[in-house]
């Protein structure tokens, strides 16, 4: 039930920020508030289908993959194996947080251990292959390879620390 409270708190904070920024834009009287609202609603139209399918996918993961299998391969008792699998899974998930976190939450709810989930999130944030084409095109091959090699160990380290400490 605490998750609902956190969601409401986050929604209130975001709403307050949006209202403050909207009031600043309205006071400018230059039409920027209407332009901003159109832009925001345009983005929302693109994100809502992604959210819908991310939540459907997270529900289907819970239904399709038996909780015992998740616990066996990704649970606390899986240890380093679960952390490495979590790292690889996190690295392979494309998209932003609105896609990734419902999936990560479903895996966690199904019994994945805290070390695995931390490795999953860290792998997604630091190594996400969905960013790779953009990074290669903008930053170049050398930079991308160096960054990937340097960051490759961090999800495993973070997952192991969470596994041992928590």
Q: pLDDT tens across 1-46, in order?
A: 556 778 888 889 999 999 999 999 999 999 999 998 999 888 888 8
pTM for the model: 0.75
Res 89: pLDDT: 93
Would you state the pLDDT for residue 63?
83
- Taking the C-alpha atoms of residue 51 and residue 118, their distance in angstroms, rounded to an integer, is 22
Delimit the domains of the chain by residue range.
66-165
**Residues 87 and 120 sit within 8 Å (Cβ to Cβ):** yes
- High-pLDDT (> 70) share of the chain, %: 98
- In this predicted structure, the answer to whether residue 88 has a pLDDT above a threshold of 90 is yes
Q: How far is CA 117 from CA 31, 53, 161, in A?
A: 45, 21, 12
**Within 10 A of 136 (CB to CB), how many other CB atoms are there?**
13
Give me the pLDDT at residue 94, please: 80
pLDDT at 157: 97
Phi, psi of 102 (to 5 degrees): -60, -35
Q: What is the mean pLDDT of residues 61-74?
A: 86
Q: Which residue has the tokens 């929604």?
A: 11
pLDDT in tens, 91-100: 998 878 878 8
Contact by Cβ (8 Å): 36, 82: no
């Amino acid at each position: 039930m605490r998750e609902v409270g956190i969601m409401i708190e986050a929604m209130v904070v975001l709403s307050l920020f949006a209202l403050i920024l909207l009031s600043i834009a309205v006071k400018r009287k230059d039409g920027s508030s209407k332009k901003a609202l159109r832009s925001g609603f345009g983005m929302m139209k693109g994100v809502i289908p992604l959210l819908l399918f991310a939540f459907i996918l997270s529900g289907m993961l819970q239904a399709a993959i038996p909780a015992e299998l998740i616990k066996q391969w990704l649970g606390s008792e899986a240890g380093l194996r679960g952390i490495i699998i979590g790292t690889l899974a996190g690295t392979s998930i494309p998209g932003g947080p609105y896609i990734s976190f419902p999936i990560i939450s479903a895996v966690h709810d199904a019994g994945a251990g805290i070390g695995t989930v931390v490795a999953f999130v860290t792998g997604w944030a630091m190594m996400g292959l969905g960013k790779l084409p953009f990074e290669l095109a903008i930053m170049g091959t050398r930079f991308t390879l160096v960054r990937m090699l340097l960051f490759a160990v961090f999800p495993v380290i973070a997952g192991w620390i969470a596994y041992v400490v928590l």
